Amino acid sequence: MLAGRGRGVIDVGIVGGTGYTAAELVRLLAGHPGVRLRVVTARAEAGTAVAEVFPHLRGRVDLVFSPPTPEVLAECRVVFFATPNGTAMTLVPALLESGVRVVDLSADFRLRDPAAFERWYGMPHPCPDLLPLAVYGLPEQNREAIREARLIANPGCYPTAVLLGLIPLVESGSVRADGLIADCKSGVSGAGRKAALGSLMAEASDSLRAYGVPGHRHLPEIVQALQEHAAGRIELVFVPHLAPMIRGIHATLYAEMIDAATDLQGLCAERYRGEPFVDVMPPGAHPETRSVRGSNVCRIAVHRVGGGRRVVVLSVIDNLVKGAAGQAIQNMNLMLGLEETLGLTQIALLP
């Protein structure tokens, strides 16, 4: 069935439809058996066929981009925002009043402290009263709250990889909360679809560089989520890197164990037992980003260094799927009472 044609079960919409994350949302929703993609908005491309901008959707999506008209969006059960930071916060209040549920993939509702949001994103928050209403959309952490939520703050891609790797260690009190390190590499698609010198293949290929070392916007988001599980104060060094690949995040996470006798492999395996999208790999494994490309899966491996107190956790995701669009649809499924894995069981692409 062409998205936008026929009789769908639940109408959903996307605001900000021309970026890589939006393209993944459209691709996944077009194959989702429980929803109908009703509207995809983009001001500059209004009137242009979605499949003209994204040719891989030809024959599957016959919608045209439209302006973000509140009346049309209000007819959807769920609206996804794949917009730059600062956009969703201007439209979400009216949609919530109309009874629409919202999954925001930007950072507009991730930080609970409006002063922290202004400090890290350089703009005041116009609706701080909604921040307590927003549920942080990491299902492996907040599944029950997500089911009842009206507004989901979809986690960032780096935070997803880091949190899934560290939460079992922190919440069990197995590691020092004040000695965490996250050394992360991301493909260039994480920078978005905008034209930017640093994202050009001629600039990013055959090179590896760190950025945001003094402080990255995802740092307070990660610390906020980890602090919910920690007995002491979280202290995290987070260093992101741009890697010469298109998709994927590889997070190498370091911590110091409190008790060297703790079975961290068994702890992580038990923590994620039954989780449909977290794969705790066997001892000695080294997950690769290509093993999750195009899928909603996070693969984790736990290593002890020399049998001592140092532990290294390897966590890999596709930044556009589990790190963005796939997780957003996972959240939508939970909000609507659908099977959590619906529309998200794609096997990773190889090669």
Tokens of 277: 């999208």
> What pLDDT, on a 0 to 100 scale, did the predictor assign at position 196?
79
Would residue 157 show up in a list of annotated catalytic residues for this protein?
Answer: yes
**DSSP 3-state assignment of 324?**
helix
Residue 21 placed within a domain: yes
Residues 183 and 274 in one domain: yes
> What pLDDT, on a 0 to 100 scale, did the predictor assign at position 5?
36
How many residues make up the chain in this entry? 351
Which residues of the chain fall short of a pLDDT of 50?
Answer: 1-8
Residue 200 placed within a domain: yes
Tokens of 254: 């370091």
Residues 164 and 19 in one domain: no
Residue 38 placed within a domain: yes
How many Å apart are CA 219 and CA 222, to the nearest integer?
5
CB burial of 251-282 (b: ≥16 within 10 Å; e: otherwise) equals bbbbbbbeeeebebbebbbebbeebbbbbbbe
Residue 332 placed within a domain: no
SS (H, E, C) 145-183: HHHHCCEEECCCHHHHHHHHHHHHHHHCCCECCCCEEEE
Residues 218 and 268 in one domain: yes
Handedness of CA 130, 149, 218, 321 (dihedral sign): negative
pLDDT digits (tens, 9 = 90+) for 219-229: 999 999 999 99
> What pLDDT, on a 0 to 100 scale, did the predictor assign at position 64?
96
Residue 338 placed within a domain: no
Residues 162 and 310 in one domain: yes
> What pLDDT, on a 0 to 100 scale, did the predictor assign at position 202?
85
Range of the domain at 225: 158-319
Residues 166 and 102 in one domain: no
Q: Residue 159's closest CA among 132, 135, 133, 186?
A: 186
* CATH label of the domain that carries residue 255: 3.30.360.10
Q: Are 109 and 131 in contact (CB under 8 A)?
A: yes
- Please tell me the total count of domains within the chain: 2
Q: Which residue has the tokens 């994204």?
A: 54
| Catalytic annotation, pick one of 157, 184, 268, 298 | 157
Cis peptide upstream of residue 214 (ω within 30 degrees of 0):
no
> What pLDDT, on a 0 to 100 scale, did the predictor assign at position 7?
46
Residues 67 and 171 in one domain: no
Residues 56 and 174 in one domain: no
How many Å apart are CA 142 and CA 108, to the nearest integer?
18
* CATH label of the domain that carries residue 66: 3.40.50.720
